[in-house]
Amino acid sequence: MNADELIERAAEMAELAESGANRATSVAQLGEIERDVVRGSLSDIKKHIKDVDGSDKARVGQALSAAEARAKAALEVRRIDLESEARAATVEAERLDLTALGTGYGVGHLHPVTQVWRELEDIFCGLGYEVFYGPEAEDDWHNFEALNFPPGHPARAMQDTLYLELGDAEQVLLRTHTSPCQIRLLETQAPPIYAVMPGRTFRRDTMDARHSPVFHQIEALVVDRDITMGDLMGTIDVFFRALFGDSIDARFLPSYFPFTEPSAELGVSCPFCDRSGCRTCSNTGWIELGGCGMVDPNVFTAVDLDPEEWSGFAFGFGIDRIPLLRNEIDTLHTLLWDNDVRFLSQF
């Protein structure tokens, strides 16, 4: 074949590869075309270059390269198309209804009381307080006497007590408040003390919507030099804002607890109506939460601390009250002891 024939043949082969590539429906077919045309026919043509005139060699060579490039390009373009079609088909075949999957592997729930309990601990840790748990069964000394409730004291009658069949009659009891933890701390640690004491407490009460024989309280105690009633009230402000939000105010009304003096009832401005009056605060704008006061000198004396050297404050309130208010839970009995999984899984 002469040079022109070879050039024409190369062009034909390139066209053949192009049309074949366009018709191909699989990468395998492209492989066949590559084998037959690029490595077959075009290679054959290359073998004939040596037979043409020297002056035409370059021309034929160029034509051959161009033809080979055209064929390869056509095959490559088609290969990309075919691969993306194949990928699309695979994707379509693998498509899943994600709403029918991932329905959750059923993580459990912490009890709402525990959630609040932890939140309270964390706030106090943030204020630099330690967290202390005392025993739930106590002796008369820690629960009453060291807290300035001498035997026969009328304030004892305010706390219906469950006694245990241990020791002498009415010597061992289930703690009626978390305050005995104050005594335990003061007996074992030298001041300064900055501590918070959450715990379970007991009263001789029948379970109903608002009462429970077992409930939860938290108590804070600070003993240091020069602690004042102003410190008590300011600290409570800071704490309640952390718990309920920045717009909260704390209110203090004089009251009586044997182990603090001066003593006060502790209320917060209603976080639900911003003090304008609602059902939760019985339209008063305030919610009574607990009690507080300056540690009574008799308590310091009971634990061998000098009340002239040390002063301190304590405050406490019911933990259960917080989820009852926050989550608008109707009764204490729903919150505690019922343990219906439909209730627990709401929190």
Partner 1 sequence: MRAPLSWIQDFTPLTADPTEIADALNQLGLEVDDIDQPGKEINGVIAARILNVVPHPDADKIRLADIDFGDGQLRVVCGAPNIEAGMVVPFAQVGAVLPGDFRITKRKIRGVVSEGMLCSSKELGLGDDHSGILCLPDHAELGRDVREILGLDDTVFELSITPNRPDAMGITGVARDLAAHFGLPFSIPTAPPGIVGERIDDVSVVIDAPDQCPRFVARATAVTLGPSPQWLQRRLTLAGMRPISNVVDVTNYILLERCRPLHAFDLGRLAGRGIIVRRAVDGESITTLDGVVRSLLATDLLVCDALGAPQAIAGIMGGRDSEVDDTTTEVLIESAYFEPSGVAKTSKRLGLRSEASARFERGIDPNGTAEGADAAVALLAQVAGGVAHGTTIDIYPSPVARPRITVRTARVNSILGTDLDAATVRSLIEPLGIMPEGNGDTFTAECPTWRPDVVREIDVIEEVARRHGLNNIRRTVASAPAGTVGRLTAQQRDRRKAADVLVGAGLSEAITLPLVSNNDLERVGAAVDAVVRVSNPLRAEESVLRTSMRPGLLAAVARNAARGNADVALFEQGTVFMPPLEKSLLPHEKTFIAGVRSGMRRESPRRSDRIADVGDAIDDVRAVANTLRLASFEIVASQINGWHPGRCATVLVDGQTVGAVGEFDRAVCDAFGIASTVVGFEIDLDALISARRLDNRFRSVSVYPPANIDLAFVVEQTVSAADIAATLRRVGGELLESIRLFDSFRSEQLGADKVSLAFALRFRAVDRTLTEAEIAELHAACIASVQESHPAVLR
Contact residue for partner 1 among 166, 189, 245, 282 (CB under 8 A): 166
Contact residue for partner 1 among 206, 246, 304, 306 (CB under 8 A): 206
- Does residue number 131 form part of the binding site for partner 1 (CB under 8 A)? yes
Contact residue for partner 1 among 77, 80, 86, 238 (CB under 8 A): 238
Alpha-carbon span 172 to 169, nearest angstrom: 8
Residues 66-105 that bind partner 1 (CB under 8 A): 100-103, 105
Alpha-carbon span 269 to 40, nearest angstrom: 92
Residues 260-319 that bind partner 1 (CB under 8 A): 261-265, 294, 296-297, 311, 313
SS3 231: helix
Stretch that binds partner 1, among 11-19, 44-52, 68-76, 153-161 (CB under 8 A): 153-161
Contact residue for partner 1 among 57, 231, 242, 331 (CB under 8 A): 231
Q: Write down the least CB distance from residue 328 to partner 1, Å.
A: 19
Q: Which is nearer to partner 1, 124 or 317 (CB)?
A: 124
Contact residue for partner 1 among 22, 83, 135, 245 (CB under 8 A): 135
Contact residue for partner 1 among 54, 95, 154, 246 (CB under 8 A): 154
- Does residue number 213 form part of the binding site for partner 1 (CB under 8 A)? yes
Bridge partners of 295, per DSSP, are: 260
Q: What angle do CA 281, 244, 200 make, to 5 degrees?
A: 85
Q: Which is nearer to partner 1, 55 or 206 (CB)?
A: 206
- Does residue number 157 form part of the binding site for partner 1 (CB under 8 A)? yes
Q: Which is nearer to partner 1, 94 or 165 (CB)?
A: 165
Contact residue for partner 1 among 28, 93, 169, 190 (CB under 8 A): 169
- Does residue number 190 form part of the binding site for partner 1 (CB under 8 A)? no
Contact residue for partner 1 among 91, 93, 152, 246 (CB under 8 A): 152
Secondary structure letter of residue 38 according to DSSP: I
Residues 4-43 that bind partner 1 (CB under 8 A): none
- Does residue number 148 form part of the binding site for partner 1 (CB under 8 A)? no
Contact residue for partner 1 among 59, 72, 241, 251 (CB under 8 A): 251
Q: Is the peptide bond before 112 cis (omega within 30 degrees of 0)?
A: no
SS3 138: strand
3-state SS track over 276-322: CCCCCCCCCCEEEEEEEEEECHHHHHHCCCCCCCCEEEEEEEECCHH
Q: Which is nearer to partner 1, 155 or 303 (CB)?
A: 155
Alpha-carbon span 293 to 256, nearest angstrom: 9
- Does residue number 339 form part of the binding site for partner 1 (CB under 8 A)? yes
What does the block give as tokens for 249? 């105010």
Alpha-carbon span 38 to 14, nearest angstrom: 8
SS3 273: coil
Alpha-carbon span 215 to 193, nearest angstrom: 26
Q: Write down the least CB distance from residue 222 to partner 1, Å.
A: 5
- Does residue number 56 form part of the binding site for partner 1 (CB under 8 A)? no
Q: Write down the least CB distance from residue 182 to partner 1, Å.
A: 16
Residue 91: CB atoms within 10 A of its CB come to 9
Pick from 179, 170, 175, 223: nearest CA to 197: 179
What does the block give as tokens for 66? 């161009």
Q: Is the peptide bond before 262 cis (omega within 30 degrees of 0)?
A: yes
Contacts with 152 (C-beta within 8 Å, 6 or more apart), sequence order: none
